[in-house]
Amino acid sequence: MIQELIDLRASIVEGRYDDALAIVDELDWMSKKTILRNIKSYLVRLLVHLIKNQVEQRLTNSWAASIGYSVVEIQDLNLMDNQISYYVKQDEWDDYLENAFEDGILAASSEVANGVYKPRRLREIVDKEAVIKTATQLLSLTYTYSGQTLRNFIYEEFSQLAGGEAWSFEREN
């Protein structure tokens, strides 16, 4: 990115504005790619814990914290600097979730039931549609709520997960 900034400066100083605009577009693309890569990382983390929850039929505080933190971080990364636009729009998550699911299976295979399942077997066991539906519901909250309100609604969603009954009435005001 440093070289691009040097080239941008030179293009502006030399009056090569078309070149400068092309460099700005490239920098914009690089920035967006980095943000989307970070979002994917949190998506994988989210899916790993939803997969573990589904297979093991329990929800530990650690998993809940990881799920909640992932959703909050995705919201933060996804919101553009103008605070009104998103890198990934609400109806665009399907492809991202599909792509992240396989990485989630691979990562979860070493953790679910103390690593007894190989990725292929875990993929057969997991109800992919249910995991993606839950992830989509959690992600949809990020378009409506923020801050502590978002966290409260995430906690409420935990009550719908296996082993999450205890979260049902723990909403903080």
pLDDT digits (tens, 9 = 90+) for 146-163: 888 999 999 999 999 999
Which two tokens mark 109? 């295979």
Residue 26 inside a domain? The answer is no
* Residue 29 lies inside a defined structural domain of this protein: no
Q: Tell whether 6 is covered by a domain.
A: no
Going by C-alpha positions, the residue among 44, 70, 67 that lies closest to residue 160 is: 67
Rounded Cα gap, residues 4 and 139, in angstroms? 34
For the chain, what is the domain count?
1
Angle between helices 147-158 and 61-78 (to 10 degrees): 140
| Highest mean pLDDT (candidates 16-20, 22-26, 80-84, 100-104) | 100-104
Please indicate, yes or no, if residue 7 is contained in any of the structural domains. Answer: no
**How many residues can be counted in the chain?**
173
Give the model confidence (pLDDT) of 74-98 as tens digits: 999 999 988 889 999 999 999 999 9
For the stretch 119-130, pLDDT in tens is 999 999 999 999
Q: Does the structure show a pLDDT above 90 at 108?
A: yes
pTM: 0.85
Higher confidence at residue 168 or residue 10? 10
In a domain, 19, yes or no: no
Does some domain include residue 31? no
- Rounded to a whole number, what is the distance in angstroms from the first to the last CA of the chain? 44
In a domain, 12, yes or no: no
3-state DSSP helix/strand/coil % of the chain, to nearest 5? 75, 0, 25
Taking alpha carbons only, the member of 14, 8, 46 closest to residue 30 is 8
- Which residues does residue 33 pair with via DSSP β-bridges, in sequence order? none
Q: 77 near 42, Cβ under 8 Å?
A: yes
Q: Could you tell me which residues are beta bridge partners of residue 79?
A: 86
Q: Supply the range of the domain harboring residue 95.
A: 38-167
Residue 23 lies in a domain: no
